[in-house]
Amino acid sequence: MRTSYDNFGGRGDRRNIISVTSDLNYKGTSAADLSVLVDGQHANNLYFVDNAPLQDKSITFHFAKDVYIDELRLLSSEIKRYGQWKIQGSNNGVDWNDLSDGFELIGTPNGVNVVYLTKNMDFYTYYRLLGIDGRSSSAGYLWEFEFKSQLRTNQNLIKLGNGTYKTYRPKKVIRSNEIPIMTSNSTPKGRAFARDIYSTSYDAWKAFNGTDDSEGYASAKGSKDKGFLGYEFEQPIIIGEYLLRSMSNKVLFRMPKDWTFEGSNDGTTWDILDRQKNQTWTSVTEDKIYGIKYPKLYKMYRINWTASNGNDEYTVINQLKMFTGDFDEMWVDVPTLNPSEDDFEKYGMYDLSVIPEEAWAELSANHSNCEIITYVPYNQPMKPFKKKFIDIPLNIHMNALPFEQLVVYPDDFELHNSLSAIIVQKLQLQPGTYEGKVRIIVSFDKGTTWEAYHNKKWKRIDIGDLSDIAEKGMSLSTIDSLGEQHYSGKGNHVRIAYYMDDSIHREEEMKLAGSKLTIPSSVHDFTLSDLSLHALNTVPFVNLTFAGNKLIGKLEDPDGGKVQYRILLNGKPYFPVTGQFTSLASSPIDINVSISEKDLIFNQENLLKVEFQDYWGQTEFWETKFIGTYSGLMFMDESGHYYSDTFGGILQYLDFDVIIAGQTTLDKKVIMKNQLGHPVTNLKLNVVKDKLPDGVSIELSRASTPFIASEELLYSQILNNNDMIEFYVRISTKIGAKPVTNGIFEIRAHANQV
């Protein structure tokens, strides 16, 4: 069932159709009640208090109408884990049905962590989150719950001329990650594995932890562009699609580019299930989903890459997900000649657009008369159906033997710019002549693999299987409808093959005059004067800033032409790592690149250089010098030595040595420095002490004298880049506090960007 975030109950202000209740205590900076969770605003903050156990607690959403929901997501002020839950549905608020397995609720500012209601098969007026494990927390404001939902809709069946009914079962992928959220390579179940790792901070399970990390899993330094990452299930399972997500920083060239996706049942023999080449990522936390043409049962799956997007040191994958489902697309018989309301509910199709053109052709080839029968629920408006399908008998004439033929163009067309269109020119036939069948497939890798745009995505075609080409190849209208966005990222070469079919029963004809490619060029730099052609070129320019280890700005060309750039760090290629310029793109180009600390020379001068040029190759550059250091809200001691790095790795401890129960330690000064590269406000410092025993408290104060103890400090002023604040920390213990060896606590900083 296809649903949407944009319809009933999805997103926006839904307070008139959804009421929210909970038996958890809550507070909010501007929240009057729980309805702010469905008000469509990110300014109304709410959080739960008391550090109460979540087990058997609930958050309930009451809808004005019964609605089907298959996904929900939580938007919050920061990436935050909110305990273990499951989702239930009810139509009376008393009797509840489980609609999901247990899951960890994770909130993010952009709502990228999705919860799937994998067990939901019905419509409900009540949905609730029921707590399983964990405790409520005031850390991290809750903004919005959004639902992927749908009201009851009209249902359709296809009635054939012989009185029987059919429905179409499309391929169904359950976009619920079959891999659980991992907390180590072997917990909670299964096994994450890789050929090698950069360090334990970037272990294999980091690609399965459900969190958008700055890098996630990273292969060993020096592994270059070779490696693999995978997961072993407890039992063999069919995986039909897999997903790769880029990291949450801008070092996208560390993502793999060429790979095979493989399955195995013994870890020794690996079968190739999918092959990808020249895959690129253009934005952070970007998902790319890849289908497996022939899914089979395997216990182990892995992605085995042979090239990255330019990095010659190591490869990074933020998240790897795997999806199962039903993968056989087909027409299905409805077992009745007089369908009832229940039959329409069970077998009906509410969206006929999911039926591909080839499926309609298959049906009409065997049945000359087909009717669409629609069941309209009570009090539901019926949309007018204006399309009419007329089956015209197939008529093709070819001056050749009456067999299907495949004509493959022997050479590749080399593309020096983006491909906007492929136009196949068809000659006009004589009046009364029937037009035959032609299908087109293309290759972007010099004939190694062939593809067709089918059902809104590129699919691999077996060039040795003419039936596969006939079924999934592109019609003339399909290839004519494709534009530059469809060919983006497909490489710099294209080859075309034509499939033509004729009939043994009658004279048929199909005439193709040829094909042409549409490739845009920069023409805005030309003027014609006195029959002479002059190239009047103005050099491009950049407006860049570098702060907090982030390079931000724009590359522009006054002529409006296409531009490209590359970044050098200390004389070595940084982006792209090959040293080549980026692909030509229309001006202006946004530049937003984070410089990884692993590539900096610390406490010494570094040189960052950006070289840029336009379509004509005229090169200019911009450069800056800076001292290598960390980025973020950084904690330091009085000598300026950092306590941790950007990623939370410990550099030194704030050590209070041995503490005797009943005593309060002397306070120690800590300095917090804004090294984000931009000003912030509403800075909050708070203590996380879940690893300390009862009777031990961590106290913060703005000053040493007087020391006013608090577990949280708030600063409302604006802190510009490199501004610092000082605060003081001490530990207070009660006489009955239990002893603990190497007790650890954390101090965390949160702030809003100005």
Domain boundaries, the chain: 18-151, 176-324, 405-501, 541-628, 633-753
**What does the alpha-carbon distance between residue 67 and residue 355 come to, in Å, rounded to a whole number?**
24
Residue type present at position 707: F
Q: Is the pLDDT of residue 394 over 70?
A: no
Q: Is the pLDDT of residue 243 over 80?
A: yes
- Reading the block at residue 251, the tokens are 């070092």
Which pLDDT band, with edges at 50, 70 and 90, does 233 fall under?
Answer: very high
Question: Is 88:130 a contact under the CB 8 Å cutoff?
Answer: yes
Q: Is the pLDDT of residue 594 over 80?
A: yes
Which pLDDT band, with edges at 50, 70 and 90, does 450 fall under?
Answer: very high
Mean pLDDT of 440-452: 90
Going by C-alpha positions, the residue among 138, 554, 460 that lies closest to residue 272 is 460
- Reading the block at residue 249, the tokens are 């920083």
Mean pLDDT of 324-345: 81
**Residue pLDDT, tens place only, 733-751:** 888 888 877 778 888 888 8
**Out of 130-139, 177-186, 251-260, 433-442, which region has the weakest mean confidence (pLDDT)?**
433-442
* Peptide linkage before 576 cis (omega within 30 of 0): yes
Q: Is the pLDDT of residue 2 over 70?
A: no
- Reading the block at residue 366, the tokens are 């065997």
Mean pLDDT of 701-715: 90
In three-state secondary structure terms, 254 is: helix
Cα 330 to the chain's mean position, in Å?
Answer: 29
**Residue pLDDT, tens place only, 607-641:** 999 999 887 777 889 999 888 888 888 899 988 88
DSSP-derived secondary structure for 30-82: S-SSGGGGGBS-SSS-BEE-TT-B-TT-EEEEEEEEEEEEEEEEEEESS-EEE
Which comes out higher in pLDDT, residue 363 or 127? 127
Q: What is the mean pLDDT of the chain?
A: 82
The pLDDT, as a whole number, for residue 173 is: 62
Which pLDDT band, with edges at 50, 70 and 90, does 562 fall under?
Answer: confident
The pLDDT, as a whole number, for residue 436 is: 67
**What does the alpha-carbon distance between residue 424 and residue 440 come to, in Å, rounded to a whole number?**
9
> Exposed e or buried b for every residue in 89-121, given b needs 16+ CB within 10 A?
bbeeeeebeebbeebbbbbbeebbbbbbbbbbe
The pLDDT, as a whole number, for residue 386 is: 38
Q: Is the pLDDT of residue 184 over 70?
A: yes
The pLDDT, as a whole number, for residue 508 is: 46
Question: Is 497:407 a contact under the CB 8 Å cutoff?
Answer: yes
Going by C-alpha positions, the residue among 715, 737, 736 that lies closest to residue 726 is 715
Global confidence as pTM: 0.34
Which pLDDT band, with edges at 50, 70 and 90, does 89 fall under?
Answer: very high
Which comes out higher in pLDDT, residue 515 or 748? 748
Mean pLDDT of 452-464: 85
Q: Is the pLDDT of residue 390 over 60?
A: no
Cα 207 to the chain's mean position, in Å?
Answer: 13
Which comes out higher in pLDDT, residue 384 or 165? 165
When the candidates are 1.20.58, 1.10.10, 2.60.120, 2.60.40, the CATH number that belongs to 541-628 is: 2.60.40
**Out of 323-337, 393-407, 445-459, which region has the weakest mean confidence (pLDDT)?**
393-407
Question: Is 321:242 a contact under the CB 8 Å cutoff?
Answer: yes
**Out of 110-114, 138-142, 285-289, which region has the weakest mean confidence (pLDDT)?**
138-142
**Residue pLDDT, tens place only, 479-509:** 888 888 888 888 888 888 888 775 444 444 5
**Out of 297-311, 428-442, 590-604, which region has the weakest mean confidence (pLDDT)?**
428-442
Going by C-alpha positions, the residue among 240, 428, 264 that lies closest to residue 328 is 240
Secondary-structure class of domain 633-753 per CATH:
mainly beta
CA distances from 569 to 435, 537, 608 (A): 60, 29, 5
Question: Is 626:548 a contact under the CB 8 Å cutoff?
Answer: no
The two domains 18-151 and 176-324 share their CATH topology (first three levels equal):
yes
Question: Is 515:424 a contact under the CB 8 Å cutoff?
Answer: yes
Element (H, E) at 566: strand 562-569
Which pLDDT band, with edges at 50, 70 and 90, does 432 fall under?
Answer: low
Question: Is 675:629 a contact under the CB 8 Å cutoff?
Answer: yes
**What does the alpha-carbon distance between residue 565 and residue 427 come to, in Å, rounded to a whole number?**
44
Which CATH fold would you assign to the domain 18-151? Jelly Rolls (2.60.120)
Percent of the chain with pLDDT over 70: 85
Residue given tokens 């999901």 in the structure block: 100
The pLDDT, as a whole number, for residue 320 is: 95
- Reading the block at residue 573, the tokens are 């290629």
Cα 126 to the chain's mean position, in Å?
Answer: 29
The pLDDT, as a whole number, for residue 365 is: 66
The pLDDT, as a whole number, for residue 567 is: 93
**What does the alpha-carbon distance between residue 76 and residue 99 come to, in Å, rounded to a whole number?**
23
* Domain 176-324 superfamily per CATH: Galactose-binding domain-like (2.60.120.260)
The pLDDT, as a whole number, for residue 511 is: 55
Q: What stretches of 343-475 adopt beta strand conformation (E)?
A: 370-375, 405-408, 413-414, 421-426, 437-443, 450-454, 457-461
**Out of 310-324, 383-397, 456-470, which region has the weakest mean confidence (pLDDT)?**
383-397
Q: Is the pLDDT of residue 579 over 60?
A: yes
